[in-house]
Structure 1
Amino acid sequence: MGFDHGVRLRDECRKSLGESVRARLEELTGQTLGWYAMEDRSDPGDCCKAVVFGERGLCTAVSRIDTEHRPVYTITGYLLDPTSFRSIEIDYRPTPDRDTAVPDGSEVLGVPGGRELISGLTATVLRVLGNSPPKAQELLQAPFLRGQQVQEQDCGWHYEDSEHHLRVFVVFRAGHRDVTVAVGRRVVPVGHTQRTAHWSLRCYRASVVRHIGR
Structure 2
Amino acid sequence: MAEYTHEIDVRRQRVARAGPNGLVAGGERRLLSGELDFGGPGPDRDTCWWELGPRTRERLVELAGPSLQWWAVHRRVGGRTAVEAGLLGRDGFVFAEPRLNTERQPVAAIHAYLFRPGSSRQVAISWKPERQAPGRRSGGDVGPSAASAGKAAVRLIGLSELGASTLGAMPPKAQHLLLEPFVQGERLLRSEIYYWGSPNETSIFVTVLAGEHTVTSATGSRFVPAGHEEATAHWDLVCRRADVARRIGR
Compute the TM-score of the two structures, normalised by the length of structure 2. Answer: 0.77
Q: Aligned pair in 2 of structure 1 residues 71, 129: CA closer, same or farther (>3 Å)? A: same
Q: 1:77, CA displacement in angstroms?
A: 2.0
Q: 1:72, CA displacement in angstroms?
A: 1.2
The CA RMSD measured in Å over matched residues stands at 2.0
Select the residue among 91, 101, 121 that pairs with 1:66: 101
| Runs of 4 or more consecutive aligned structure 1 residues displaced over 3 Å after TM superposition | 101-104
Superposition map of 1:96-175 within 5 A? 96-97=131-132, 99-101=137-139, 115=150, 117-118=153-154, 119-151=157-189, 154-175=190-211
- State the match for 1:51 in structure 2: 86
State the secondary structure of the residue aligned to 2:187: coil
CA contact (8 A) 2:63 2:112 kept: no
Select the residue among 21, 25, 28 that pairs with 2:60: 25
- State the match for 1:208 in structure 2: 244
CA contact (8 A) 2:64 2:90 kept: yes
Q: 1:145, CA displacement in angstroms?
A: 2.0
Contiguous gaps of at least 5 residues in structure 1 = none
1:61-96 C-alpha deviation (Å, 9 max, x unpaired): 011111233221110121111300000000000000
State the secondary structure of the residue aligned to 1:179: strand
Q: 2 CA distance for matches of 1:149 and 1:65?
A: 28
Q: 2 CA distance for matches of 1:187 and 1:207?
A: 31
Q: 1:120, CA displacement in angstroms?
A: 1.5
* 2:228 paired with 1:192: yes
- State the match for 2:126 in structure 1: 91
CA contact (8 A) 1:101 1:195 kept: no
Q: Aligned pair in 2 of structure 1 residues 72, 142: CA closer, same or farther (>3 Å)? A: same
Q: 2 CA distance for matches of 1:157 and 1:43?
A: 23
- State the match for 2:71 in structure 1: 36
Q: 2 CA distance for matches of 1:142 and 1:129?
A: 13
Counterpart residue type for residue 242 of structure 2:
A
Aligned length: 206
Identity of aligned residues (%): 36
CA contact (8 A) 1:103 1:130 kept: no
Q: 1:42, CA displacement in angstroms?
A: 5.0
1:172-209 C-alpha deviation (Å, 9 max, x unpaired): 10110000000000000111111111000000000001
Q: 2 CA distance for matches of 1:7 and 1:195?
A: 26
Q: 1:34, CA displacement in angstroms?
A: 1.3
1:129-182 C-alpha deviation (Å, 9 max, x unpaired): 10100000000011112221114xx00101111000000101110110000000
Q: 2 CA distance for matches of 1:200 and 1:102?
A: 16
